[in-house]
Chains A and B, each alone.
Chain A
Amino acid sequence: QKEVEQNSGPLSVPEGAIASLNCTYSDRGSQSFFWYRQYSGKSPELIMFIYSNGDKEDGRFTAQLNKASQYVSLLIRDSQPSDSATYLCAVKSSNYQLIWGAGTKLIIKP
């Protein structure tokens, strides 16, 4: 059973600080990794994807991938109250199915 694990939270971070979200996956053959943001009652929206080991930066967001340790993380710098949402990690497994984590609820405190 291919799995993607996330801490459900809530993760509480002061405004302006760095929020760090983590995700581990079980399928060592996975090649593509995605972070989606989901506001309460809304649909997920893709914010980052990463394919290679290392860091990928896009504005205030940085995705980090370590395939040897089978984890992927998302860093949000200068956190804003509008970043408060549930962050879903998704992994495209070796059979090309997208496997989803249950999400981490992030709360940014003003």
Chain B
Amino acid sequence: DGGITQSPKYLFRKEGQNVTLSCEQNLNHDAMYWYRQDPGQGLRLIYYSQIVNDFQKGDIAEGYSVSREKKESFPLTVTSAQKNPTAFYLCASSIKGAPEAFFGQGTRLTVV
């Protein structure tokens, strides 16, 4: 089955730790995106990538980093510089220029 796989589904981070969220897609989509969702708020764009080895900052990139070494993979690292990382993180992909039609199941990150 084609789709987007995010892992893990739940993640707990201690203060000061970096953690990496995985996002893999087998839809052959060029574009991939990372969003953060907080309760009662819309999705906010963290980073996006339209092509391998290239990515752009979104509205709230501070404290996050990404890489796009393969078309299928777009991991997100939440660094210790992100002071309020507890949120629901969503990865999405689309054909370049199309709306972000496909989302992964999300990763819920909690700082403990």
A binds B: yes
Partner of B99 from the list A4, A88, A98, A103 (CB cut-off 8 Å) is A98
B interface size (C-beta, 8 A): 15
A76-94 with Cβ < 8 A to chain B: 88, 90, 92
Return chain B residues, CB-CB under 8 Å to A71: none
- Which of the listed residues B99, B101, B105 has the most CB atoms from chain A within 10 Å of its own CB? B99
B99 touches A90 (CB 8 A): yes
Residues in A whose Cβ lies below 8 Å from that of B34: none
Whether A102 and B42, one on each chain, are in contact in the complex, defined by CB atoms closer than 8 angstroms, is: yes
Partner of A100, one of B40, B42, B103, B106: B42
B103–A43 CB distance below 8 A = yes
- Cβ A98 vs Cβ B41 within 8 A: no
> Is B43 positioned at the interface, with any CB of A under 8 Å from its CB?
yes
With a cutoff of 8 Å between Cβ atoms, the chain B residues found around residue A97 in the complex are 45
Q: Which of the residues B40, B42, B44, B99 comes within 8 Å of A34, measured between beta carbons?
A: B99
- Residue B100 is within 8 A (CB to CB) of chain A in the complex: yes
A7 at the binding interface (Cβ < 8 Å): no
- A100 x B99 contact (CB < 8 A): no
CB pair B103–A45 under 8 Å, yes or no, is yes
Instruction: Answer whether residue A42 sits at the interface, using C-beta atoms and an 8 A cutoff.
Output: yes
Which listed residue (A32, A45, A98) contacts B45, Cβ 8 A? A98
Please give, as numbers and ranges, the residues of chain A lying within 8 Å of B103 by CB-CB distance. Answer: 43-45
- The contact sample of 24 A-B pairs, CB cut-off 8 A, is A4-B42, A34-B99, A42-B105, A42-B106, A43-B103, A43-B104, A43-B105, A43-B106, A44-B43, A45-B103, A46-B99, A46-B101, A49-B99, A90-B43, A90-B99, A92-B99, A96-B97, A98-B45, A98-B99, A98-B100, A99-B42, A100-B44, A102-B41, A102-B42
